[in-house]
């Protein structure tokens, strides 16, 4: 039998691991709750579109008007299906399994969930999605990270602005780079080294949508990316914007765990975030 002094550290490590799992579960539920809040309004708008065009089709007997109504109803129905599939995917994929994942599709699915919110704040999204191989990731966890980064970008822009989502294959490193860049207010230099610390936040509290202010988002993002044997990097300049880059392993490759990288000074739009 091992002495109690040797057993105690192992018990403490187990307790820390259990607490981290509970924190990750709580963060997933928070993200899901935020998604439900965001998409409920959008889904209601879709239903109103379907109802209104159904009424138009019933009132007007001429074929052109009815064809237009059917087209609008079909488009709205397809939109509703995308929203529903996105929510169901986020809700049911609770496993810790890693699998080859199409990151371009994951980006598109995530943007569907935030489309109404980004549109409400007059934020444009520019996609720069190269044809990249599958990444070996847990798709639900990476979507959680991506949602957090996109919501942070939206909050940095307030009213109006541009978010760029970029996907690049780094062949020599066997990694895929996923970058979320905004042209918002940026992060002060003295805050950059602390943004991944648990409970550190530069926000006063939740905004009008109820998002932000807990300070656990980026810390959880860092833990998820480290668990994937990847990197999370940030570059920012006050008044010009911020870029977060996730570097994730290509399916079928092995990488060593790398640290978080924090850099001051956001690069030019045409340059790569290292």
Q: Which option is the CATH number for 95-264: 3.30.565.10, 3.30.70.1150, 3.40.50.11810, 3.30.420.40?
A: 3.30.565.10
Please write the tens of the pLDDT for every residue from 123-155. 999 999 999 999 999 888 898 899 889 988 998
Predicted confidence band of residue 242 (pLDDT cuts 50, 70, 90): very high
Predicted confidence band of residue 274 (pLDDT cuts 50, 70, 90): very low
Mean pLDDT (whole number) for 71-81: 88
In angstroms, the CA 153 to CA 161 distance is: 10
Fold of 4-89: Helix Hairpins (1.10.287)
Instruction: Quote the pLDDT of residue 40.
Output: 75
Among the listed residues 260, 206, 228, 218, the one whose alpha carbon sits nearest the alpha carbon of residue 27: 218
In angstroms, the CA 185 to CA 240 distance is: 6
Predicted confidence band of residue 215 (pLDDT cuts 50, 70, 90): very low
In angstroms, the CA 71 to CA 78 distance is: 11
Instruction: Quote the pLDDT of residue 268.
Output: 45
Going from N- to C-terminal start, the domains of the chain cover 4-89, 95-264
Instruction: Quote the pLDDT of residue 116.
Output: 79
Instruction: Quote the pLDDT of residue 214.
Output: 44
Beta bridge pairs of residue 184 = none
End-to-end CA distance of the chain: 50
Mean pLDDT (whole number) for 229-235: 93
Question: Is the separation of the CB atoms in 18 and 135 below 8 Å?
Answer: no
Q: What is the side-by-side strand order in the sheet with 161-170?
A: 123-129, 161-170, 175-182, 241-249, 231-237, 261-264
Question: Is the separation of the CB atoms in 181 and 241 below 8 Å?
Answer: yes
């Amino acid at each position: 039998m091992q002495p109690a002094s040797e057993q105690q550290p192992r018990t403490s490590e187990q307790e820390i691991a259990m607490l981290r799992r509970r924190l990750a579960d709580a963060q997933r539920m928070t993200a899901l709750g935020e998604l439900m809040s965001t998409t409920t309004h959008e889904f209601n708008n879709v239903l109103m579109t379907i109802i209104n065009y159904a009424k138009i089709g019933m009132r007007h007997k001429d074929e052109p008007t009815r064809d237009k109504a059917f087209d609008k109803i079909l488009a709205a129905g397809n939109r509703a299906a995308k929203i529903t599939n996105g929510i169901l995917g986020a809700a049911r994929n609770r496993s810790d399994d890693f699998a080859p994942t199409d990151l371009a599709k994951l980006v598109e699915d995530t943007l569907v969930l935030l489309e109404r919110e980004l549109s409400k704040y007059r934020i444009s999204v520019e996609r720069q999605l190269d044809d990249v191989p599958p990444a070996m990731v847990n798709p639900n966890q990476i979507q959680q990270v991506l949602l957090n980064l996109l919501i942070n970008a939206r909050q940095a822009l307030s009213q109006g602005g541009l978010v760029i989502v970029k996907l690049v294959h780094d062949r020599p490193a066997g990694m895929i780079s996923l970058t979320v860049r905004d042209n918002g207010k940026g992060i002060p230099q003295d805050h950059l080294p602390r943004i991944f610390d648990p409970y550190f936040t530069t926000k006063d509290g939740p905004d009008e949508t109820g998002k932000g202010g807990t300070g656990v988002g980026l810390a959880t993002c860092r833990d998820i990316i480290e668990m994937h044997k990847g990197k999370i990097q940030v570059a920012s300049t006050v008044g010009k914007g911020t870029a977060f880059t996730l570097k994730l392993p290509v399916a079928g490759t092995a990488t060593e765990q790398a640290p978080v990288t924090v850099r001051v000074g956001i690069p030019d739009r045409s340059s790569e975030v290292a």
